[in-house]
Amino acid sequence: DGIMDSFGMGDAGYTVTVTPAEVAGAARGDMVTVSISVPYGAETGLLQMGMFPTPENLTSSITMAREGP
């Protein structure tokens, strides 16, 4: 939440999903995915251009292998 706050998006209605939900239970080498979805609206401060269709949400994901013991 601190990172989103630092970009002025703390109250933008974003959601964060981590899979698996309990990363501590993942074994070394297991894949962990983090997805963030932000509503595309004026309250987020994201640029809106009327001539282009805009999505309802902007979503991004990253998947990495769990490291460590």
| pTM score | 0.69
Write the pLDDT tens digit of every residue in 8-62. Answer: 777 777 889 999 999 989 999 999 999 998 887 645 555 666 666 777 888 999 9
Backbone angles phi, psi at 53, to 5 degrees: -65, 140
Q: What was the pLDDT predicted at 44?
A: 55
Alpha-carbon distance 13 to 11, whole Å? 6
